Structure 1
Amino acid sequence: MKKTFKNFVLGATVCTMIPLSSFADEITFAHGANKGNPRYEAANLFAALLPKCTNGNLTVNVAPSSTMGDDVEMLTSAISGVINITANSQGAMAQIVPEVGALGLPFLFSDLPSAWKVLDGEIGNIIDKKAQEKGLKVLTFWDNGIRNVTSSKKAILKPGDLKGMKIRTPPDAVSIAIFKALGANPSALAWSELPTALRSGAFDGQENPLTNIYSAKLHEITPYISMTAHQYQSTPVVASLMWWSSLDKKTQECVQQSAKRAGWYERGLSLMENKDLRAKMEAEGAKFFDIKDKKPFIEATKSVYKDFDKKLGNGFVAKLQAAAK
């Protein structure tokens, strides 16, 4: 299924063949995902699409699995022009463009397509303008799924079950605020360090979409998986503005369209895997718990909206809520 879908996307690509107008024939596309993750597959697809679009004048060196540093380091490298493109994280990006963090406000999106529609519209354009002020160009938003809590000890069925729980979050102010509001003891940690930290007992649990949990085998360490669906997170795909500005318009179009086409492949994989992974993980010993009543969780996290509306102070949260509806 994956190969068929990927071949279709690759075969359907139609780009104008153009001469290169940049300072490097080979560009670096860096990300933190491991093999088997939709982002890993999409980055490889981007690397196949771009040379076709540019008549071979631009080739892509994909640097996966945080080989170019963690998400914050990759963004810093992109701003300075050391790397050209990174498929990054919402939390790290929010440290540069705070509005990105608001995409993860609690229980904002009910499903993945709803989130994609918002990201591909006015909200995405606003974020892109903010990013360019900081030296980054948003090419598109790939998917990082709707997040659920995993624990080494117990199921999470009500907010009280999180009281005092040591839980890892990404370096994302909204994620930390959500779990503080729910009574947990959250702490940020880089993705690459998470499996070791869980095994050591430094954390009681963590939260991630099923695709990330499965690809990193976190369900083997924290087998209690509670379907909280508390937060959506995107994967902003951003280019160095320094490099982007050196390209002519046709080359820019090639880069952006290749990123978007690879993104639809990545989103499709994410959507399909979310339907299949539960059964796979259950077969491998994970225990899933559905939450019948999410109202207590929603009520407990309302303060997060007020706090971030005040923090951003530009009406962005209201625009985002309106778009999500």
Structure 2
Amino acid sequence: MKKLLLGTIAAAVVASSSMAADYTLKFSHVVSANTPKGKAADFFEKRLEELSGGKIDVQVYPSSQLYKDNAVLKALRLNSVQMAAPSFSKFGKIVPQLALFDLPFIFRDAKHLHDVQDGEVGQALKDKVTAKGIVALNYWDNAFKQLSSNKNALTMPEEAKGQKFRIMSSKVLEAQFHAVGANPQMMPFSEVYSGLQQGVIDAAENPISNIYTKKFHEVQKYLTVSNHGYLGYLVVMSKKFWNSLPAELQANVTQAMNEATEKERQYAAELNDSQFELIKEYAKKTGKLEINELTAEQKEAWRNAVSKIYPEFYSDRKIGKELIEKTIATK
């Protein structure tokens, strides 16, 4: 009876707290709560509620509990959900310029990437999204992509010739692999493991987190640390909800989001490093996986081979020459 009473009191406190809030913000995302995105979303929840003095009640729904990424943008426009963090590819039809992040070797390292995202280019891209009726807030990391293969080590671009690479739907990625004589194959992510295992495809590109969690390293003979491409997310908010907030609470959202972004980038880097160590342990223990890291000369050879595709995307209806050049010039 005592436990029941305490539970009833706790429920009443939660209900009272929710009723006291002036605004309810539902944050929908598709990954589990223990991922970098999930942990950052939970951090954002606590921080915004603190900054707003409880005026905004943030409710995080992980693991597609509310919407999948392919449906969440419509839900945002309807204000059925107030915040989400889809991958860049989900914005392809409304802002194709976000394909900038697919361009191979356009980012020198993580610092350059974040300087681009937090600077003029990143703001220009966010403005394009906001102009489509969805408020773009910040960029969150997944990680840089690596190359894997069952044919050879892929330390030089000519070694990719003739190999069947799985890609997600992207004109940039298609052009990237055509540039080195490979055969890009669009394939659902859920089919990649079996595709590699059965030889339907020879090779793939993935961040370490995908490779480790989906056990791709167990069905590939070679892993090349190339950091050639990038996968990330754009955190967005319902424009109707944003406009309903007074300036003070908008400032609270911005501050909480900036702090959450720093945390998310930290979480993503830590996860990448820890999972890479586990892959290296597997390689050492089994002898079934060869890991190679591109030297400066090898990386330059790859960059020269694939960067020739950049002019194919100079059209403003694709990415735009100015955005590409400003990205490269960002210090």
Question: 1:221 & 1:57 partners in 2: Cα distance?
Answer: 50
How large is the Cα RMSD of the aligned pairs?
2.7
Secondary structure at the residue paired with 1:280?
helix
The match for 1:296 is 301
Contact 1:70-1:192 at 8 Å conserved across structures: no
Do the aligned partners of 1:70 and 1:190 also contact (CA within 8 Å) in 2?
A: no
Cα contact 1:166–1:204 (8 A) shared by 2: yes
CA, structure 1 residues 66+269, in 2 after alignment: closer, same or farther (shift >3 Å)? same
The TM-score, its normalising length taken from structure 2, stands at: 0.80
2:286 maps to none
Q: Which residue of 2 aligns with 1:210?
A: 208
Q: Is 1:30–1:62's contact at 8 Å kept on the other side of the alignment?
A: yes
Question: Counterparts of 2:90 and 2:262 in 1: how far apart (Å)?
Answer: 22
Tell me the CA shift for residue 207 of structure 1: 1.5
- d(CA) in 2 for partners of 1:287, 1:45: 38
Counterparts in 2 of 1:294 and 1:313: CA distance versus 1, 3 Å: closer
Instruction: Identify the range of structure 1 (176-185 vs 131-140) with the bigger mean alpha-carbon deviation.
Output: 176-185
For these two proteins, the number of residue pairs brought into alignment is 303
Contact kept, 8 Å, 1:142 with 1:267, in 2: the verdict is yes
Residue matched to 1:162: 160
Contact 2:22 2:56 in 1 (8 A): no
Say if 1:39 and 1:203 are closer, same or farther in 2 by CA, change over 3 A. farther
Please list, as runs of the form range in 1=range in 2, the aligned pairs for 1:180-259 lying within 5 A after superposition: 180-189=178-187, 191=189, 194-195=192-193, 198=196, 202-222=200-220, 224-259=222-257
Question: 2:310 aligned with 1:305, yes or no?
Answer: yes
Structure having the higher Rg: 2
SS in 1 for 2:227: strand
Please give the alpha-carbon distance, in whole angstroms, between the structure 1 residues aligned to 2:92 and 2:143. 17
Say if 1:217 and 1:171 are closer, same or farther in 2 by CA, change over 3 A.
same
Give the CA deviation at 1:294.
2.1
Q: 1:274 to 1:313 in 2, by over 3 A?
A: closer
Moved more, 189-198 or 289-298: 189-198
> Which amino acid is 2:291 matched to?
F
CA shift at 1:80, angstroms? 3.4
Distance 1:119 1:278 in 2: 25
Q: Residue by residue, what CA displacement relative to the aligned partner does 1:90-125 show, whole Å, maximum 9, x if unpaired? A: 222233212221133221112112211121111122
Shift of 1:200: 5.9
Classify 1:116/1:312 alpha carbon distance in 2 versus 1 (closer, same or farther; 3 Å).
Answer: closer
Change (3 A) 1:164 1:72: farther
Structure 1: gaps spanning 5 or more residues:
1-18
Are 1:149 and 2:147 matched, yes or no?
Answer: yes
Q: Is the 8 A contact 1:21 1:246 kept in 2?
A: no
Shift of 1:195: 4.5
Which of 254, 261, 264 is residue 263 of structure 1 equivalent to? 261
Counterpart contact for 1:168–1:205, Cα < 8 Å: yes
Pick closer, same or farther for the CA change 1:221–1:61 going to 2, 3 Å: farther
Equivalent residue, structure 2, for 1:39: 37
Aligned counterparts, 1:88-99, within 5 A: 88-99=86-97
Deviates more, 1:191-200 or 1:178-187: 191-200
Give the conservation status (yes or no) of the 8 Å contact 2:145–2:231.
yes
Residues 66 and 218 (structure 1 numbering): CA distance in 2 closer, same or farther, change over 3 Å?
farther
Normalization by structure 1: what TM-score? 0.82
Matching residue of 1:7: none
Determine if the alignment matches structure 1 residue 319 to structure 2 residue 326: yes
Do structure 1's residue 128 and structure 2's residue 132 form an aligned pair?
no
Is the CA contact 2:97–2:320 (under 8 Å) kept in the aligned structure 1? Answer: no
Note the C-alpha offset of 1:191.
4.5
